[in-house]
Structure 1
Amino acid sequence: MLRRVTVAAVCATRRKLCEAGQELTAFWGIKERGWCEDSAAARPFPILAMPGRNNVNSMDRILGENSRIARLEADESEEEGWRGSLSNAGDPEIIQSPRDPKQYRYIKLQNGLQALLISDLSNMEGREEEEEEEEEEKEVVLEEEDDDEASGAETQDDDEESFDDEDEFDGEHDDDLDTENNELEELEERAEARKKTTEKQSSVALCVGVGSFTDPDDLPELAHFLEHMVFMGCLKYPDENGFDAFLRKHGGSDNASTDCERTVFQFDVQRKYFKEALDRWAQFFIHSLMIRDSIDHEVEAVGSEYQLARPSCANRKELLFGSLTLKHEPKKNNIDTHSRLKEFWTCYYSAHYMTLVIQSKETLDTLEKWVTEIFSEIPNNGLPKPNFCHLTDPFDTPAFNKLYRVVPIRKIHALTITWALPPQQQHYRISWLAGHEGKGSILSFLRKKCWALALFGGNGETGFEQNSTYSVFSISITLTDEGYEHFYEVAYTAFQYLKMLQKLGPEKRIFEEIRKIEDNEFHYQEQTDPVEYVENMCENIQLYPLQDILTGDQLLFECNPEVIAEALNQLVPQKANFVLLSGANGGKCDLKEKWFGTQYSIEDTENSWAELWNSNFELNPDLRLPAENKYIAFDCPETGYPVKIVNTPQGCLWYKKDNKFKIPKAYICFHLILPLIQKYAANVVLFDIFVNILSHNLAEPAYEADVAQLEYKLVAGEYGLVIRVKGFNHKLPLLFQLTINYVAEFSSTPAVFTMITEQLKKTYFNILIKTETLAIDVRLLILEYARWFVIDKYQALMDGLTLECLLSFIREFKSQLFVEGLVQGNVTSTESMDFMKYVVDKLNFMPLEQEMPVQFQVVELPRGHHLCKVKALKKGDANSEVTVYYQSATRSLRECTLMELLVMHMEEPCFDFLQTKQTLGYHVYPTCRNTSGILGFSVTVGTQATKYNSEVVDKKIEEFLSSFKEKIENLTEEAFNTQVTALIKLKECEDTHLGEEVDRNWNEVVTQQYLFDCFAHEIEALKSFSKSDLVNWFKAHRGPGSKMLSVHVVGYGKYQLEEDGTPSGEDSNYSYCIIPITDIRAFTSTLNLLPYHKIVK
């Protein structure tokens, strides 16, 4: 697979190096500055220059003559920078998609700050005057409000609790197989909740052109720590937590990330509060106080962030433990961290290093006025920007071209082959070829040998992989057990493919195919989340000339064979480095990495292979360039047709034409429901095996479609197979029919069956060792009757399943089904009915004898406080997870909305009390819970057993909830109404692209709720609420008769669980009032079952 600009690309890089021990910086002679420090929150940077574009080293040089200096003088109407009657005239030199309704304007302030203004006035007809009146009313209210709500602390983005919040289609392949079990769904729900609070908000992002490369030698991580500390108070708004409170109050959020050469800050908020939020936010860059008393608790936050990331391959950090570096070492060495922070801020947070992007439903003139007024005060120190271009060839050491055997945390076999290249290499086309998965590709050959499951080729475009000193090109291959035994042959296959490319040279046909695909995607692009968009663009300004700010990381303009050949000729075995990850390496790894204790070894390549690779070795006749791609769309008509719903005895089809986005794309979603999946744990496992073999079988024939921006997804749901297909409607039926054909004609060889089952064992194991997912699994095992624990599935798999069992299961699966579908986009109702007919005819199944619910029944918890405490399953992992859950009952949509409002009120004080003041952990959040139709809410804290007894954390959560009761009782009507308005505005936000509307509609179909206008009902309910409704609901669910469940997953350390289940270390004396759950099945077998329930009215 070609690596693109995704969070998964960061994770892929990390798999090759961080598990080898982030000490590879030391291995290869790179200073500590060479790592991306906040990648869990960071977006990879689109640094790679595309063919036909000059390298960008100085935006001042490129934009200098064309830049517009914005000035604010007494008479603004006559000022040079203003547009007069052309109040929303954009810059024509900025190339944008014809489908992009936004207007763009570039300005450069007198202090050197560069800004891109984005005016999005789409869907504003008839709303302008109404919103202006709202703005005026708000200004009056603000004048009456107490100004004590000063600003300061960095808001912790919900993404940090949600893992990789990637789009279902756009995320890259994980090393694990797809086991999309609903016991893990709530991780995704938190990510979706985050998305829903940011859509079509007013957004801004600021990129400072310095990062970890600028860290001083005696204080590594200082740039990252400053990213946290810069929000600890400012001169105009000195309160430490005021900015956080302001954003939460008005439905906003913010985040920040540090990479090697850039640090990015961003926030979003409702439009009517945007200008005030801009002023509050800008003050941190104008005069940050960085309150000295905040240092210790921010060190604790950074330390918890690192501890949480430590056991995760995807999010592991590559530098020092934040708490050790910034708290203990400076004190030990008599370093005044606070003064060094101030010094670093003064030296590097200068306006001429900064690029700003702002997007809102305002005219460009209004945005220009705001930016000039607010951001012109940021100081410019006049110092030259740090430049690292002279530090070339950091990997030019004897330690690089070696074989590193590494013992990973997860169960995985993987081989990564890496080359170090000069910076800004134009190797995008090589990435595309190396990551190809169709016939004749590296992965196709290795799959036929049952040696590999997945492959990533190219450059992740992160700060570590691509910067001003070097770029990294890698081929990362997820191996099977057999592939691990033949890893040298696997590497040889990759070298044979690269040698073939070198021999054939660049081929224009392939370049034209890539260009056409990218042209289609850009021309018919869908709008994206504003906060993600501004974050992207503020980095693009640092990298591309003005005309290419929007296109620089998306389009190919001209084929340059010399540049491609030059890069390609460097990808030879003699210059390659190898990292081999496997638990089987344990006995061979006698070295230990300094910071995380990763076991590894270093050795030379075996002589026989080194001699072969140094020779003129033969090409592999099974490897060849990709054939012509038949899935690329050339005919993209724009049509619209009326909606029609179709029902049949064998299923139900929902259809909606696209009248809003008007792009030549469509989504086809089908849910194949069958009753036998949840009957036995073995059935669930067989279904997982089936879906993963099906994905394996489809990988090669469907790869051309994937390259052509037609995408498919197969999901092993709780009660059936979910098939989702999207892309340009011109060729979409081909991909859909291909997918259904492979379902109907399913087959597997014994070798593939063995390969998938072995990998599935690793997948289940990797789920179990994650503290957060184990906590969710335990809680849902208690609440949902007849749910199978991941351990049950793991045991069923370990007990042994055969290919004959699988084929028998599939025959039964296809014999009797109920099919539900949704087709939406640029397709006709007749075409949609054809899709349904194709499924029914091809699968040839009988209808179900009776209606089948697509949810679990939920047990009714007894009154009182029940506690289930389990050990974390990864020895040595200090991370603990504490969740306190309150169960409600079968409730209405009105009560569901009231609970959502309650949690929204709870978010900021919860974070402030448990994280900021009590420093219990980095992940702290309240959550609405809809557990198979039964409402509830919970508070979760991720902590460490090295610091806290989990029962102490539980007690602190209760202390918070008690204080919160007083807080909402004392809530003013004005504050209550402000929060209601904020939630209404979030629900009124329009979809940014067709996929969001489809996701919402599909959720209603797949859950069989069919309440497509639920937001309208929720808004109606919100308008009817009073403060007493909120207070009474909270009291009713936390009174003496409340139904409360605590789930503790306890890590290893001072307060780990002993064998008898009691905590070691100091006792909290809190457990006397708690009823322990020592046997989950025995406990739940005595409880009443609540009826099946859907929240539909």
Structure 2
Amino acid sequence: LQNGLCALLISDLNYLDGAPAALSSEEEDEEDDDESEEASDEDDDSGAEIEDGREGFDDEDCDEGDEGEDNDGDNEDFNDPDDSELEELAEKEETRKRGCTEKQSAAALCVAVGSFSDPEDLPGLAHFLEHMVFMGSLKYPDENGFDAFLKKHGGSDNASTDCERTVFQFDVQRKYFKEALDRWAQFFIHPLMIRDAIDREVEAVDSEYQLARPSDANRKEMLFGSLARPGHPMKKFFWGNADTLKHEPKMNNIDTYTRLRDFWQRHYSAHYMTLVVQSKVLSVKDITSWHLISFKFSFRVKPLHYISWLVGHEGKGSVLSFLRKKFWALALYGGNGETGFEQNSTYSIFSISVTLTDEGYKHFYEVAHVVFQYVKMLQKRGPDKRIWEEIQKIEANEFHYQEQTDPVDYVESLCENMQLFQKEDFLTGDQLLFEYKPEIIADALNQLSPQRANLVLLSAANEGQCHLKERWFGTQYSVEDIDKYWSDLWASDFELNQDLHLPEENKYIATDFALKVADCPETEYPAKTLSTQQGCLWYRKDDKFKIPKGYVRFHLISPLIQQSAENIVLFDTFVNILSHNLGEPAYEADVAQLEYKLVAGEHGLVIRVKGFNHKLPLLFQLIIDYLSDFSFTPAVFEMITEQLKKTYFNILIKPETLAKDVRLLILEHSRWSMIDKYQTLMNGLSIESLSSFVKAFKSQLFVEGLVQGNFTSREAKDFLNYVVQKLQFAPLAHPCPVQFRVVDLPNTHLLCKVKTLNKGDANSEVTVYYQSGARNLREYTLMELLVMHMEEPCFDFLRTKQTLGYHVYPTCRNTSGILGFSVTVATQATKYNSELVDKKIEEFLSCFEEKIKHLTEDAFSTQVTALIKLKECEDSHLGEEVDRNWNEVVTQQYLFDRLAREIEALKSVTKSDLVTWFQAHRSNKKKVLSVHVVGYGKHEGDSEVTAVAEVQNSSSGEIPHLIFLPPSSLMTNVTSIKDIKAYTSTLNVLPYHKILK
């Protein structure tokens, strides 16, 4: 454009099968169109997951509510239960949609400035500006007006600051896109950034920083940056906090407000910006295409992608294969990440991260030597054209047959691509490989010498040996010279390892992309095509997305798992050993875009497989074969159980996951807590007990499966038949429930207050939960509507005005069929007492009650329409439909038309219904449970000396137990829970309930 802004406009394609064309802008103003909300793509990781929830019947939110897991990247093979498949499905409750008409409209703006541009005397200024520009504009001065507008019309927004870029994005229903775009644009044209908002938003930035501090990934990044040479921008503190943005500037007579406006004026200029807009518009007759001329940029060769492909390989001849046979490593990840910290205009980082076993820790230098031997082998052999072309083919297959992504994710990605590539490569530059240039690959390989490497050893075993401290995240570390024997060896022409070699040709790469002809009548929803005493199969052939891909999911149900805490731990161990055993043979399938995941569910083993349907059955059969012939050595058993201890411990020390565990331990009858599991594991398991458990588990099962995509019904039946024939199990004597029974809370306010298990951590988590009971579809939609109304006022009151914390959100909760809603605040004990936060939540709910009582009929109708639109909008890819259908299968509800029924229920809801429903849950008969996980800080009676002493005395080897805290004078009219099992044993237990009508 004339002002220097570079813009990319994308029109959604009309359906090939004759769906309605886009409306003109005039028609848009007259008609309500069916839009789509933000979609959650399926987790792409392959491997095993330990489950701390359930598929479908998990107690999760209908709205993500700004809630997010920090992926520390410590061990991808032993995932956090809160990231489990069952949890993922519940998080997608809000995205249960009926394939109807259109996706959301979306826009993203990338500004070519980031934290590298922070002034030396104001660390975190770029990140702070990203927050401040959204605090109202000259044309739309209301601080939370944009968020309120988006929530009202089914939209969402986000922003992020990287080293050299800042990205803003939003999506909304198409009818309101024009106004939303104007409101959003004003943030960059005339943001208010008033002085009064400075201190409040500094608190939000500080809370974000406090929440990030316990993350090992963030700590490693800041530590690595701190070791850079003086003056290099990677040494900067990117996050910002109250000290750098408020207290220190005040002491040094720096006016943060003036500097903030100067920074915005200097850097938020149109010629630094790239914009992507995606919506459905009238068809264009002139189609412009570009000829892909040859550019000599490395992105066309992708040398680091080639190297990371080989270094990170897990098949025969790989580094990880060798280390696993030595029992030195569990996982390895190599490559150059897409974050600004790893790749920017000043440098690139190539990282090889190895998850060591305890034995591997003892052989740290030998592990590093194996890595260097592999890199040297690659250097001596030189680039291999067969490997490069194999990578090229796999990436091309994925690109040409990729499923649609959510518009807001797509525009975010493209606006960053526009900062990096020529216009001819905006769409393909980050994914495809164009030219094989061995000299460029060889040059990159030759830079990976031992002399240029930084070796970092992270372990709790280093505690007490690290006497240096990183300033911002408080990480204890030491810097040492490499052992002379190894430094001399690596400086010499050391021998290669004959066990290390290039991978063989990949047999899992798809070559048949033909769409199958249906061999049975097509159905709108999955149909049961096979049913026996041993299992049943649900099937639906894809007739909408028409891509050569498939999704296969199976649930192997057993009543053994929940019989004891020991059985649950044995099951987790079994699933992780199975995943370990599959690591090498299944890796070729994984790199060929066939993804699998094994989930240790609450009531059974979940097997998830997806990808190109041509070779998908081969991968599925491989998994079942290894399950059938399951075996393990004592060394593998020891390795997996030791890592499982660390996984359980890492879950327990997160305030948000501990709060969830405590809440569900109170609510769900006969539930085993994470502490029960950890204590059981620490007390020791025997090899014999695992062998006996696995034998018993495989002897009696009920198997349920769902097959969707480019398969015939005959091919779908083959999946179930293979499981039954290969495992040779007997049917269950009695049906096994796939949900827990839930206790009926008394008509009072319960408080369960515990100390965080992460010694010295300031972060607290406060959740106030209101139990509703066994309800129907109509009441479920009423609760959804209530939370939708609550989101923006909750954020405005608790975060913007009260500045209680960064994560503040209301949540719909479906706990094994029993409904409820909650409000959660993540705060810090260095700033607030948890009971004060609880009181503020109560204050907010009282204000909210007045707000909805005075809600106009028009405002109520608009919100109902927005929720209906969210449920009506089309799925952006097949995985969304599969998630929705799998949720019905795995919870054994089978209400595949649930969305349509909820839409009908919403059409009959009135404002009076909403007000009455909320008031009923706030009356004297209300059932309230407050769960507090209390951090360390002065507002909780902890001195700084106490917090430091707790950290120094803590260890991942100790067996934690819950420390229950009594209520203070702030909360006198509550019933305090000091022994969860003793208290809940006095409560009535509700019958099993499914929301079916």
Query: TM-score, normalised on structure 2?
Result: 0.88
Is 1:361 matched with 2:246?
Answer: no
| Residue 1055 of structure 1: how far off its partner (Å) | 2.9
| Residue 923 of structure 1: how far off its partner (Å) | 0.7
Residues 947-1005 of structure 1, C-alpha deviations (whole Å, 9 max, x = no match): 11111111111111111111111000000000001111111111111111111111111
C-alpha separation between the residues in 1 aligned to 2:535 and 2:780? Answer: 30
Summarize the Cα distance change of 1:159–1:614 in structure 2 as closer, same or farther, 3 Å threshold: farther
* 1:278 corresponding residue in structure 2: 181
| Residue 270 of structure 1: how far off its partner (Å) | 0.8
Higher mean displacement: 318-327 or 618-627: 318-327
In structure 2, which of residues 771, 781, 785 is the aligned counterpart of residue 901 of structure 1?
A: 785
| Residue 159 of structure 1: how far off its partner (Å) | 7.1
Determine if contact 2:748/2:925 at 8 Å carries over to the other structure: yes
C-alpha separation between the residues in 2 aligned to 1:356 and 1:189? Answer: 33
Is 1:111 matched with 2:30?
Answer: no
Determine if contact 2:301/2:437 at 8 Å carries over to the other structure: no
Identity, % of aligned pairs?
72
Residue pairs, 1:29-40, within 5 angstroms: none
| Residue 175 of structure 1: how far off its partner (Å) | 4.4
Determine if contact 1:871/1:1057 at 8 Å carries over to the other structure: no
User: Which AA in structure 1 matches 2:492?
Assistant: S
In structure 1, which of residues 220, 230, 235 is the aligned counterpart of residue 133 of structure 2?
A: 230
User: Which AA in structure 1 matches 2:437?
Assistant: N
C-alpha separation between the residues in 2 aligned to 1:196 and 1:438? Answer: 39
Determine if contact 2:555/2:704 at 8 Å carries over to the other structure: yes
Is 1:985 matched with 2:888?
Answer: no
Determine if contact 1:326/1:337 at 8 Å carries over to the other structure: yes
* 1:1092 corresponding residue in structure 2: 992
Determine if contact 1:589/1:601 at 8 Å carries over to the other structure: yes
| Residue 180 of structure 1: how far off its partner (Å) | 3.7
In structure 1, which of residues 657, 660, 663 is the aligned counterpart of residue 547 of structure 2?
A: 663
Summarize the Cα distance change of 1:213–1:478 in structure 2 as closer, same or farther, 3 Å threshold: same
* 1:722 corresponding residue in structure 2: 606
User: Which AA in structure 2 matches 1:467?
Assistant: N
C-alpha separation between the residues in 2 aligned to 1:364 and 1:229? Answer: 38
Residues 1010-1067 of structure 1, C-alpha deviations (whole Å, 9 max, x = no match): 111111111111111110010011011110001110000000011337898557xxx9
Summarize the Cα distance change of 1:186–1:811 in structure 2 as closer, same or farther, 3 Å threshold: closer
In structure 2, which of residues 13, 16, 19 is the aligned counterpart of residue 125 of structure 1?
A: 19
User: Which AA in structure 1 matches 2:346?
Assistant: T
* 2:311 corresponding residue in structure 1: 434
In structure 2, which of residues 837, 842, 847 is the aligned counterpart of residue 963 of structure 1?
A: 847
| Residue 428 of structure 1: how far off its partner (Å) | 1.5
User: Which AA in structure 1 matches 2:114?
Assistant: G
Determine if contact 1:183/1:780 at 8 Å carries over to the other structure: no
| Residue 265 of structure 1: how far off its partner (Å) | 0.4
Determine if contact 1:450/1:480 at 8 Å carries over to the other structure: yes
Determine if contact 1:784/1:858 at 8 Å carries over to the other structure: yes
C-alpha separation between the residues in 1 aligned to 2:104 and 2:925? Answer: 40
Unaligned runs of 5+ in 2: 34-62, 223-236, 288-297, 943-961
Summarize the Cα distance change of 1:253–1:315 in structure 2 as closer, same or farther, 3 Å threshold: farther
Is 1:817 matched with 2:701?
Answer: yes
Residue pairs, 1:769-788, within 5 angstroms: 769-788=653-672
Summarize the Cα distance change of 1:880–1:216 in structure 2 as closer, same or farther, 3 Å threshold: same
Report which structure shows greater RCO (CA 8 Å, sep ≥6).
2
Higher mean displacement: 442-451 or 313-322: 313-322
Number of corresponding residues: 912
* 2:374 corresponding residue in structure 1: 497
Determine if contact 2:98/2:899 at 8 Å carries over to the other structure: no
C-alpha separation between the residues in 1 aligned to 2:599 and 2:734? Answer: 24
3-state DSSP of counterpart to 2:552: strand
* 2:192 corresponding residue in structure 1: 289
Residues 758-812 of structure 1, C-alpha deviations (whole Å, 9 max, x = no match): 0000000000000000000000000000110100000110111011110100000
C-alpha separation between the residues in 2 aligned to 1:531 and 1:432? Answer: 29
In structure 1, which of residues 177, 181, 184 is the aligned counterpart of residue 78 of structure 2?
A: 177
Determine if contact 1:455/1:476 at 8 Å carries over to the other structure: yes
Determine if contact 2:65/2:809 at 8 Å carries over to the other structure: no
Summarize the Cα distance change of 1:1051–1:201 in structure 2 as closer, same or farther, 3 Å threshold: same
Is 1:620 matched with 2:497?
Answer: yes
C-alpha separation between the residues in 2 aligned to 1:835 and 1:185? Answer: 22
Determine if contact 1:930/1:936 at 8 Å carries over to the other structure: yes
Residue pairs, 1:596-615, within 5 angstroms: 596-615=473-492
User: Which AA in structure 2 matches 1:223?
Assistant: A
Residues 465-504 of structure 1, C-alpha deviations (whole Å, 9 max, x = no match): 1111111111110100000000100000001101111111
* 2:449 corresponding residue in structure 1: 572
Residue pairs, 1:51-130, within 5 angstroms: 109-123=1-15, 125-126=19-20, 128=22
| Residue 125 of structure 1: how far off its partner (Å) | 2.8
User: Which AA in structure 1 matches 2:261?
Assistant: K
Is 1:1079 matched with 2:956?
Answer: no
In structure 1, which of residues 917, 920, 930 is the aligned counterpart of residue 804 of structure 2?
A: 920
Summarize the Cα distance change of 1:128–1:550 in structure 2 as closer, same or farther, 3 Å threshold: closer
C-alpha separation between the residues in 2 aligned to 1:1046 and 1:367? Answer: 61
C-alpha separation between the residues in 2 aligned to 1:891 and 1:655? Answer: 29
User: Which AA in structure 1 matches 2:763?
Assistant: N
| Residue 222 of structure 1: how far off its partner (Å) | 1.0
C-alpha separation between the residues in 2 aligned to 1:173 and 1:159? Answer: 25
Determine if contact 1:181/1:717 at 8 Å carries over to the other structure: no
C-alpha separation between the residues in 2 aligned to 1:480 and 1:423? Answer: 38
| Residue 178 of structure 1: how far off its partner (Å) | 3.8
* 1:453 corresponding residue in structure 2: 330
| Residue 197 of structure 1: how far off its partner (Å) | 13
C-alpha separation between the residues in 2 aligned to 1:614 and 1:787? Answer: 57
| Residue 1068 of structure 1: how far off its partner (Å) | 6.2
3-state DSSP of counterpart to 1:1096: coil
Is 1:581 matched with 2:458?
Answer: yes
* 1:951 corresponding residue in structure 2: 835
* 1:221 corresponding residue in structure 2: 124
* 2:949 corresponding residue in structure 1: none
* 2:440 corresponding residue in structure 1: 563
Determine if contact 1:423/1:470 at 8 Å carries over to the other structure: no
Is 1:878 matched with 2:778?
Answer: no
* 2:361 corresponding residue in structure 1: 484
CA RMSD of aligned residues (A): 2.5
Higher mean displacement: 776-785 or 344-353: 344-353
User: Which AA in structure 2 matches 1:871?
Assistant: K
Determine if contact 1:178/1:715 at 8 Å carries over to the other structure: no
In structure 2, which of residues 211, 217, 231 is the aligned counterpart of residue 308 of structure 1?
A: 211
Is 1:464 matched with 2:341?
Answer: yes
Query: TM-score, normalised on structure 1?
Result: 0.81
3-state DSSP of counterpart to 1:359: strand
User: Which AA in structure 1 matches 2:78?
Assistant: L
3-state DSSP of counterpart to 1:343: helix
3-state DSSP of counterpart to 1:886: strand
In structure 2, which of residues 109, 118, 136 is the aligned counterpart of residue 206 of structure 1?
A: 109
| Residue 160 of structure 1: how far off its partner (Å) | 4.1
Is 1:869 matched with 2:775?
Answer: no
Summarize the Cα distance change of 1:925–1:179 in structure 2 as closer, same or farther, 3 Å threshold: closer
C-alpha separation between the residues in 2 aligned to 1:129 and 1:567? Answer: 51
User: Which AA in structure 2 matches 1:683?
Assistant: N
Summarize the Cα distance change of 1:1057–1:764 in structure 2 as closer, same or farther, 3 Å threshold: farther
| Residue 299 of structure 1: how far off its partner (Å) | 0.1
C-alpha separation between the residues in 2 aligned to 1:236 and 1:178? Answer: 46
* 1:758 corresponding residue in structure 2: 642
Summarize the Cα distance change of 1:183–1:975 in structure 2 as closer, same or farther, 3 Å threshold: same
| Residue 754 of structure 1: how far off its partner (Å) | 0.1
Is 1:1014 matched with 2:895?
Answer: no
Residue pairs, 1:624-639, within 5 angstroms: 624-639=501-516
C-alpha separation between the residues in 1 aligned to 2:286 and 2:637? Answer: 59
| Residue 879 of structure 1: how far off its partner (Å) | 0.6
Determine if contact 2:756/2:933 at 8 Å carries over to the other structure: yes
User: Which AA in structure 1 matches 2:371?
Assistant: A
C-alpha separation between the residues in 1 aligned to 2:472 and 2:595? Answer: 40
* 1:163 corresponding residue in structure 2: 69
* 1:352 corresponding residue in structure 2: 271
Determine if contact 2:767/2:932 at 8 Å carries over to the other structure: yes
User: Which AA in structure 2 matches 1:1043?
Assistant: K
